Amino acid sequence: MTTDAINPLLDFTGLPRFDAIKPEHVTPAIDDLLAKSRAVVAQLEAPSGQVTWDNFVTPLENATELLGRAWGIVSHLNNVVDTPELRATYNDNQPKVTEFWTELSQNEALFDKYKALRASSGFDALSPARKRIIDNAIRDFRMGGAELPAEQKERFADIQEQHAAVSTRFSENVLDATNDYKLLIADEADLAGLPADAKAAARAAAEKDGKAGYEFSLHFPSYFPILQFADKRELRETIYRANSTKASEQGEVFSKKDDWDNTANIVTLLKLRDEEAKLLGYKNFAEVSLVPKMAKSPDEVIAFLEDLARRARPFAEQDLAELKKFAQEELGLAELKAWDIPYASEKLQERRYAFSAQEVKQYFPEHKVVDGLFRLIQQLFTVEIKPDQAPVWHKDVRFFRIERDGKLIGQFYLDLYARAGKSGGAWMDDARGRRADDKAVQTPVAYLTCNFTEPAIVDGVAKPSLFTHDEVTTLFHEFGHGLHHMLTQVDELGVSGIAGVEWDAVELPSQFMENFCWEWEVLEHMTAHADTGAPLPRALYDKMLAAKNFQSGLQTLRQVEFSLLDMHLHYDYDASTGKTVQQVIDEVRARFALIIPPAFNRFQNSFGHIFAGGYAAGYYSYKWAEVLSADAYAAFEEAQALGPDATIETGKRYLREILSVGGSRPALESFTAFRGREPSIDALLRHSGMAA
């Protein structure tokens, strides 16, 4: 019996065999794939005749794709069903995988062959997608250190391995600190103001742990309702402090608190990134990060963010003044603390618009939201979404297929609920990319992961999962990424779907989808009251719409603050001077923030986007892409005024010029092809209620 027959991680004949994969399969599978990939590389780096796509790029892609898919499965499992055994084997194998990709990016023989292919007479005859892959590869070899002297190459490789290990440790610390914290409330009276479903979930959590009372954790669906609704100020402070200090030296007295402190990991990561930049001949890591992005320079990004802050500040000042006045006069809060802000904001919104987030939540049971999302996708892009069958990693995971004219074009896993052992947040990742040849099409497969409240059984009664409107928006956002991946029509793996798309443009399709969460024609098909089954009343929708830009000035400033912090840490911060990361944060806040968190706040210690999630010197991408997405959605607003035919045609054009082309051409070209011009910030300001 061959290794391939007994190790499910080496079975690429179909979908991943999540029901069969175990931690003990990881090392032999990865070792096998690394050996095979290195053998192919050895053959390809040997001197040969004329270099062509078919005799060079295709065999290299064939070998490395399988390694990437297998390691992608392991990484995914590590994020969604973390166990001590899986974590150990992941950490054992990560250095080997990182070493291989670093070796590949520094392989001068392969680099020379890509350059030869670029200079060959056959280059002009290649498709635009293949040309872009070759250009991207040459760029990536340079950024991977292929042109460095041998000694510096060795140090560059060490940096990559250390960086991968420290980033993983950062994530593990956040997950461990999150999972470790439990707040048990014995007296229901202490939970005054908390919605019934939040109390029911906490009661179910306590029962699951064999305890009486109500148990809360640092998973967002558990702790945030306390900040938003709990009347007891001390309770809000307790959960705020626990969440804002997790994985830090300020954290609760955990048994492993010191081990989970990310303060040193942050400094290590920043130093490693700075050293990498210097080796490559750049002044700072921000310049390195921007090489494959739309933005041209750190100064351009900083100017964009500071301009946005300037535009948002008057609105933010008005937001804060109103909140302080309301909190003092109506809630008796003479001084607004950090743990009061979500609570006071919710009360103010209820007073001003005569509805609450909890009231809205009752109209968004999971099945109606998911059905409504699918209905919209099917209408916009002329596809069908159907339930499908595949092995999954947890009983709550579902699997679907997307068809057009009866033909399979993509599939996706839907993993919606928060649970122990699962990383927080929401994300889309690719399980398999689209590629095609003369014989067959490999259709794309996506993971769509969220952390919503799971359905609970309380006193023997099953309660459906109810989504806040923010969670509905999150689901649409991640599905926008999924559509970008699954609706691609590009046949070349390196630029199909999200592959090869500039990082600061990759949020365009996701943020674009969020807009539909505010459309009455969409919402009326995706709501049903949890008790009565009645759809969302038009009057309540009108109130939601009126409140859409509630505190948008403050929210915009907050995102600008995070983005500027990220950029300055990677642009002009030097850890060797003795200046701390906290001091950089304080300086950014002094210039741009209106709400200054308490001194103990260590949000950066769980800021996984920039320290473990690929957004280093790239967090600005959310606001940058929001300009693109708002302007793209404005095209649909313009079309709606002209009638259904214009809307349908706009949807077709968006699919053709944005989603279908993936990374096969620069994002700005794709946007301009769709919109007929370059992007404008006007639509974003209008949608945010901050237009002049």
Q: pLDDT of 223-238, one tens digit each?
A: 999 999 999 999 999 9
Do 452 and 389 fall into the same domain? yes
pLDDT of residue 252: 63
Residue 23 confidence (pLDDT) above 80: yes
| Active site residues per annotation | 478
Q: 377: left (phi > 0), else alpha (psi -120 to 50), else beta? A: alpha
Residue 267, domain member (yes or no): no
Average of per-residue pLDDT across 398-406: 98
444, 181 in Cβ contact below 8 A? no
Q: What tokens does 74 get? A: 């392991």
Do 138 and 200 fall into the same domain? no
pLDDT of residue 484: 98
Q: What is the pLDDT of residues 432-486, one digit of tens each?
A: 999 998 889 999 999 999 999 999 776 777 888 999 999 999 999 999 999 999 9
pLDDT of residue 457: 75
- State which H helix or E strand residue 315 sits in: helix 298-331
Do 524 and 428 fall into the same domain? yes
Q: 501: left (phi > 0), else alpha (psi -120 to 50), else beta? A: beta
Residue 81, domain member (yes or no): yes
pLDDT tier for residue 199 given thresholds of 50, 70 and 90 = very high
Do 49 and 100 fall into the same domain? yes
Distance CA 91, CA 81 (A): 15
Distance CA 149, CA 648 (A): 56
Q: Which of 325-329, 384-388, 456-460, 617-621 has the lowest mean pLDDT?
A: 456-460
Q: What is the CATH number of the domain that holds 135?
A: 1.20.1050.40
Do 78 and 22 fall into the same domain? yes
> Of 218, 242, 260, which closes a domain?
260
Average of per-residue pLDDT across 172-190: 96
Do 375 and 521 fall into the same domain? yes
pLDDT tier for residue 257 given thresholds of 50, 70 and 90 = low
Do 453 and 384 fall into the same domain? yes
CB environment 306-339: b (16+ within 10 A), e (fewer): eebbebbbebbeebbeebeebbeeebebeebbbb
Angle at 605 between CA 601 and CA 611, to 5 degrees: 145
What torsion do the CA atoms of 15, 609, 661, 686 make, to the nearest 10 degrees? 130
Distance CA 194, CA 502 (A): 43
Helices (H), 411-528: 469-486, 508-514, 520-523
pLDDT of residue 258: 62
pLDDT tier for residue 385 given thresholds of 50, 70 and 90 = very high
Residue 124, domain member (yes or no): yes
Do 377 and 228 fall into the same domain? no
Q: What is the CATH number of the domain that holds 434?
A: 3.40.390.10
* Mean of the per-residue pLDDT values of the chain: 95
Do 372 and 479 fall into the same domain? yes
Nearest-Å Rg of the Cα atoms of the chain is 25
Residue 159 confidence (pLDDT) above 70: yes
Residue 384, domain member (yes or no): yes
pLDDT of residue 547: 96
The structure's pTM equals 0.94
CB environment 172-196: b (16+ within 10 A), e (fewer): bbbbbbbbbbebebeeeeebebbbe
Residue 476, domain member (yes or no): yes
Query: What is the percent of the chain where pLDDT is above 70?
Result: 98
pLDDT of residue 2: 47
Q: What is the pLDDT of residues 622-646, one digit of tens each?
A: 999 999 999 999 999 999 899 989 9
Residue 95, domain member (yes or no): yes
Q: What is the pLDDT of residues 548-565, one digit of tens each?
A: 999 999 999 999 999 999
Do 203 and 133 fall into the same domain? no
Which domain range does residue 221 map to? 180-260
Distance CA 200, CA 203 (A): 5
pLDDT of residue 256: 53
Residue 107, domain member (yes or no): yes
Residue 255, domain member (yes or no): yes
Residue 4 confidence (pLDDT) above 70: no
Do 130 and 201 fall into the same domain? no
Do 519 and 405 fall into the same domain? yes
pLDDT of residue 691: 87
What domain count does the chain have?
3
